[in-house]
């Protein structure tokens, strides 16, 4: 880590903890879905502490809206990728995850995920190409930014930070098998006792578990290198010398890990990996009257809030029946929050005869 950049990042972090004062000028890389939902409160908090925040957003974004009223500034750029393409990719991924994955071998799952990931990276690089070859880059150079903040789920922030000579700060929960953290951030992860993220293993492993963990790490490393091939080529062509995505990711000054250290299994960490669990949370607000009454009537068993998240917009009747049946069997009261487009969930839980006394539906989100 360069001393100058380290000082810059440290100053910004100190300023972010101060109530007032002259803040920094922060550039934020685009992201989508729950990643964007988690990032927005962080940007609001940065603004509260006196920072200026500029968010890059492509013209074909699923969740980011450059025209919405906001306290931070949006820097939109035109993209050659139609919005329909992203919707198709999301639909393909969700359909595979819900309806196909349970019936496939690990190798088949690996191959399908690789196919989807390569497709997603291809179109993300088209986003990036549209941006770096437009007059947006000239405006960013004139912006005198102090820092690039990014969720690494979509590649490109590392290239822009390199071109603009900005210190890069990542914010993420984890990558599968900690691939980015290990290969790029040089985070130690001995497979003998550090279970790979998403491996379904714990830190209590016998010999076969350790063997599977080792193979899981290896398979995800191969997956990452395959996915990075197009990114490496794009970065190298743009910079004019051999450059890899992982090499540029490794230049990140700080990795903000969105969890608490005691929620994870014991493992070694580096000084520039910081746990920031709850960074996107806000103080709780009073519950609406109807929901408060619902919670108070739940007794000792409590309640369960069931939501389909930001991506799922429809389900087959068979899968909805399965979810309804499962929710009807638990002792807790259940509040179901389908997505705005998912009206079918509400109708299923009523029409299918699932009139369990502990089930309550909320058609709005």
Question: 238-253 pLDDT, tens per residue?
Answer: 999 999 999 999 999 9
> What pLDDT is recorded for position 365?
35
Q: 294 and 269, same structural domain?
A: no
Whether 78 and 211 share a structural domain: yes
Same domain, 249 and 321: no
Q: Locate tokens 């790490």: which residue?
A: 217
Q: Answer with the residue of higher pLDDT: 358 or 98.
A: 98
Shared domain check, 200 and 323: no
8-state DSSP, 364: -
Task: Round to whole Å and give the CA distance between 161 and 184.
Answer: 16
Question: How are strands ordered across the β-sheet holding 254-257?
Answer: 73-77, 52-58, 25-28, 147-150, 168-172, 254-257, 273-275
Of the candidates 152, 202, 203, 205, the one whose C-alpha atom is nearest the C-alpha of residue 175 is 152
Its pTM stands at 0.79
Range of the domain at 159: 3-275
Q: How sure is the predictor about 303, in pLDDT bands with cuts at 50, 70 and 90?
A: confident
Please indicate, yes or no, whether residues 216 and 336 belong to a single structural domain of this protein: no
Whether residue 281 is contained in a domain is answered as no
Tell which of 247, 275, 303 closes a domain: 275
Query: Is there a single domain that holds both residue 316 and residue 168?
Result: no
Same domain as 139, residue 37: yes
Q: What are the tens digits of pLDDT across the range 246-281?
A: 999 999 999 999 888 888 888 899 999 999 888 777
**Which CATH number covers residue 267?**
3.40.50.2000
Are 162 and 184 members of one domain? yes
Residue 167 lies in a domain: yes
Instruction: State how many domains the chain has.
Output: 2
Bridge partners of residue 335, in order along the sequence: 305, 360
Kindly state whether residue 185 falls inside one of the protein's structural domains: yes
Q: Which of 8-22, 43-57, 145-159 has the lowest mean pLDDT?
A: 8-22
Beta strands in 258-338 (DSSP E): 273-275, 303-307, 333-337
């Amino acid at each position: 880590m360069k001393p100058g950049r380290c000082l810059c990042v440290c100053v910004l972090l100190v300023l972010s903890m101060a109530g007032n004062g002259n803040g920094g000028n922060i550039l934020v890389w685009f992201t989508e879905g729950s990643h964007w939902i988690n990032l927005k409160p962080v940007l609001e908090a940065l603004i509260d502490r006196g920072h200026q925040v500029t968010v890059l957003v492509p013209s074909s974004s699923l969740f980011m809206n450059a025209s919405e009223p906001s306290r931070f500034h949006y820097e939109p750029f035109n993209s050659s990728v139609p919005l329909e393409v992203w919707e198709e990719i999301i639909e393909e991924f969700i359909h595979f995850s819900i309806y196909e994955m349970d019936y496939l071998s690990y190798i088949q799952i690996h191959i399908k995920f690789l196919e989807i990931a390569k497709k997603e990276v291809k179109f993300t690089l088209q986003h990036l190409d549209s941006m770096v070859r437009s007059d947006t880059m000239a405006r960013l150079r004139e912006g005198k930014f102090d820092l690039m903040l990014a969720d690494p789920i979509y590649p490109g922030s590392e290239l822009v930070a390199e071109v603009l000579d900005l210190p890069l700060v990542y914010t993420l929960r984890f990558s599968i098998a900690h691939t980015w953290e290990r290969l790029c951030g040089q985070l130690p992860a001995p497979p003998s006792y550090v279970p790979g993220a998403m491996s379904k293993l714990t830190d209590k492993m016998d010999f076969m578990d350790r063997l599977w963990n080792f193979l899981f790490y290896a398979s995800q490393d191969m997956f990452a290198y395959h996915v990075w091939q197009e990114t490496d080529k794009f970065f190298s062509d743009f910079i004019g010398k051999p450059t890899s995505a992982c090499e540029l990711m490794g230049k990140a000054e700080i990795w903000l890990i969105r969890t608490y250290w005691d929620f994870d299994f014991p493992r070694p960490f580096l000084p520039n990996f910081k746990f920031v669990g709850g960074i996107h949370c806000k103080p709780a607000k009073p519950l609406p009257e109807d929901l408060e009454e619902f919670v108070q009537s739940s007794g000792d068993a409590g309640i369960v809030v069931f939501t389909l998240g930001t991506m799922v917009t429809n389900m087959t009747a068979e899968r909805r029946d399965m979810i309804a049946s499962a929710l009807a069997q638990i002792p807790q009261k259940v509040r179901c929050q389908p997505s705005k487009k998912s009206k079918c969930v509400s109708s299923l839980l009523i029409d299918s005869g699932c009139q369990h006394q502990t089930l309550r539906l909320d058609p709005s989100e």
